[in-house]
Structures are given as C-alpha cells and as structure tokens.
Amino acid sequence: MIVSASRRTDIPNYYSDWFFNRLKAGYALVKNPMNAVQIRRVELSPEAVDCFVFWTKNPAPMLPRLGELRDYAFYFQFTLTGYGRDIEPGIPHKREVMLDVFRQLAGRVGKERVIWRYDPILITDRYTPEYHVRAFGEIAAALEGCTEKAVISFVDVYGKNRKALEQLGMRSPEAFQMRQLASELACAARQHGMRTAACAEALDLSSCGVEKNSCIDGELVERLTGRKPSGGKDRNQRSGCGCMASADIGAYDTCPSRCRYCYADRSGKAVEANRRRYDPEAETLCGEIKENIAVSK
C-alpha cells in the first residue's frame, strides 16, 4: 500500500509531530471526507507501507527527523513556485528560505526522492506567461542537481477556489498559449538536467517535451524499493490522472498556508476550528473519533 501524506493538507509543514507519533503507533485513523462517520484504519508499519508520498510547500520541520523514516521508502512532492505573498501568503520567502530548504532536503535524501512541482500555473496581469518563464528558469537554475523532474499544471477551477481566482483576475489561456508556455518551461528544465511532466492536463503536451505525470508513481516506487507496489490505478482521481491507488491520511480544512488557488479548504474559519482540535497524540488528524463509530480497514 502506498500512503499519501497528504493531498488534503501539508503534513510535513504543519503536522510532522502527529505523523511521526502515528509511525510509532503503527497506524492512523482517517475520516472519509465525504462521510465523517466512516473511519478507516490505515496501517503504517514498514511491512504494510510500500512507500510514503509527502506533499508539501515547506518540509523544513521534518528535516531533523528524517532518520525516523529509515525503514520506509518515501519521496517528496515539493511545490515551489514564483508567486509572492499575494498568492501564497503563508509560505516563507522563496529566494531567502525555500530554495535552501529544497537543496537541504535533496542533499539528505537524494535528488530522485524530491519532485519539484511548479504548479498550479495561474495567468493574471501580474503573473503573465513571460513572468512564469522567467521565474521557472531562475528556480530551475537554483535547483540544478537537486531533482530529476519538474511537474507543471495549469490551475483548475473548483467551487472552493472560484471566487478567489476571479478576484485575482485569472485569465484562461488558449490551447496554443498553454503549449507555447509548456514548451518554454520544458526547455528551461532540460537546460538544468530535469525532465518535465504535466499533472492531469486534458491537453496533450507531449509535443512540447512534456510527459504525462503520475504523482503517485508506481514506476518510481518500484525503482526505490526494487519491487512493484500493490494496487492499481486510482479510480477516485480525475480522468486525466495517472496515479496509483493510495491511502491518504490527511484531512481537508486543516492547512493554514492560505494559498489563494487552494481547493482543499472551505474557509479560514473552518481551518481555524480544525486547528484548535489538533492533538499530536491523537489517532486522527485534527478531529475526534466517537466511541460508537465503527472503524474499517
């Protein structure tokens, strides 16, 4: 079983103490985000976990404790963009802080275990295609030798982020504009020893030098472990998603980063309420399990 930690929130940044406590306990309890009375027990022993996939914008809190993962296979999906505080208000300064954190992580775990995500790509009057080409190129140069792959995707509009995107003045690029931008980003990545992949894009960008990506990547897991992971394609993701099935141990409405494009949080009030419930010793993240609720495996 592959364990995702987490598409729903930034566990490495905000909940690493909870995560390592769950490793010691050997399991975590996870509420179904669509039905809170359905609780799943996810086994976290080295025998049960094929690989951990960590999703984060800032894994710095985990760096001192990476040794506790010595019995596990794992890799990081590390989002690092060119946006300022107007889009990503909760992320430390990119040049002054985050580039060095990325390099530290890659130096500790190896470049094959750190995937650089430049996503989502949001086009506005400030963040033009030209801006993205320049920002991506600068980051790629700074990360040369620290990663093998750059993942790109264009922003998706959901009910939870539609209003914020409209307020930012988001523009929807035409297909030829997306292809042109993807080609320029792929070229910059190649110049710094990286290949480029696109995450769940309906538009085929293969002619631009961009592969189709699998964030929960069975081939990478096999490369890291020497064996094929259990499970097939994840049927719960978007149609263009190539991810393998995984068990996600996170929870929605718990990330305080406040990224304007985020679709995982309903509101700041919901996040604050759940953050008040956070207990690093609890079985589940930012919540309680009632005694009369059955737990399934």
Q: Are 195 and 182 in contact (CB under 8 A)?
A: no
pLDDT tens-digit series, residues 45-72: 999 999 999 999 999 999 999 999 999 9
Instruction: Report the distance separating Cα 285 and Cα 125, nearest Å.
Output: 38
Instruction: Report the distance separating Cα 124 and Cα 12, nearest Å.
Output: 30
SS3 120: strand
pLDDT tens-digit series, residues 262-293: 988 888 899 999 999 999 999 999 987 766 66
Tokens of 204: 């085929």
Residue with tokens 């009910």: 159
Question: Which ranges constitute the DSSP H helices of the chain?
Answer: 11-14, 16-25, 99-109, 129-142, 162-167, 175-191, 218-225, 268-276
pLDDT tens-digit series, residues 200-258: 788 889 999 999 988 999 999 999 999 988 877 766 666 667 788 899 999 999 999 99
Domain boundaries, the chain: 2-296
Cβ atoms within 10 A of the Cβ of 83, count?
21
Low-confidence winner among 115-119, 153-157, 233-237 (lowest mean pLDDT): 233-237
Instruction: Report the distance separating Cα 115 and Cα 147, nearest Å.
Output: 6
Q: Residue 119: its pLDDT value, please?
A: 95
Tokens of 267: 């509101």
Mean pLDDT of 25-53: 94
